[in-house]
């Protein structure tokens, strides 16, 4: 550090580094100026970092929305499957009831072995 100060002191004729106070003030100003220049020159990387963070936040928001939609669709599918199971059970019950009704009808309306139409069956077929 003293080498840098002596080189700068020779460049500026010793005015800026005449004593410890002016050397400290000059050193702080030089560091501040260096940071300011670095900040101005490095704005591109700050912008890139900000854009990257913004894009990442947007992607996270989009992914959260996709997850929410997938969860909603899964819930709808689950409810639809439950309703389908309920309807299938109702249809199976109806099929059992109709099969029993058909068996009862066949038992009550057995055709004679001679395959002749009885008067009772003819009357029922006519609807009288």
Provide the residue-wise pLDDT of the chain in tens; the chain has 128 residues. 667 666 666 666 566 667 788 778 888 888 999 888 888 887 888 888 899 999 999 999 999 999 999 999 999 999 999 999 999 999 999 999 999 999 998 888 776 667 777 788 788 888 76
Tokens of 50: 């900000």
Q: What is the pLDDT of residue 88?
A: 96
Q: Is residue 115 part of a domain?
A: no
Separation of alpha carbons 85 and 72, rounded Å: 20
Q: CA of 101: how far to CAs of 10, 91, 120, in Å?
A: 117, 15, 20
Q: What is the pLDDT of residue 112?
A: 62
Q: What is the pLDDT of residue 127?
A: 79
Query: How many separate domains does the chain show?
Result: 2
Whether 16 and 40 map to the same domain: the answer is yes
Q: What is the pLDDT of residue 2?
A: 67
Q: Is residue 120 part of a domain?
A: no
Q: Is residue 87 part of a domain?
A: yes
Whether 102 and 66 map to the same domain: the answer is yes
Whether 23 and 62 map to the same domain: the answer is no
Whether 37 and 59 map to the same domain: the answer is no
Q: What is the pLDDT of residue 109?
A: 74
Whether 96 and 59 map to the same domain: the answer is yes
User: Which of these three, 10, 25, 44, is where a domain ends?
Assistant: 44
Structural domain range at position 68: 55-106
Q: What is the pLDDT of residue 108?
A: 81
């Amino acid at each position: 550090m003293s080498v840098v100060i002596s080189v700068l002191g020779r460049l500026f004729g010793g005015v800026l580094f005449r004593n410890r106070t002016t050397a400290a003030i000059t050193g702080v100003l030089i560091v501040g100026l260096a940071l300011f220049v670095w900040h101005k020159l490095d704005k591109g990387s700050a912008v890139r970092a900000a854009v990257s963070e913004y894009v990442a936040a947007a992607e996270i928001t989009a992914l959260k929305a996709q997850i929410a939609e997938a969860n909603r669709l899964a819930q709808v599918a689950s409810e639809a499957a439950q309703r389908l199971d309920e309807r299938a059970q109702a249809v199976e019950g109806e099929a059992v009831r109709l099969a029993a009704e058909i068996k009862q009808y066949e038992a009550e309306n057995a055709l004679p072995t001679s395959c002749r139409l009885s008067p009772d069956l003819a009357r029922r077929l006519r609807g009288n």
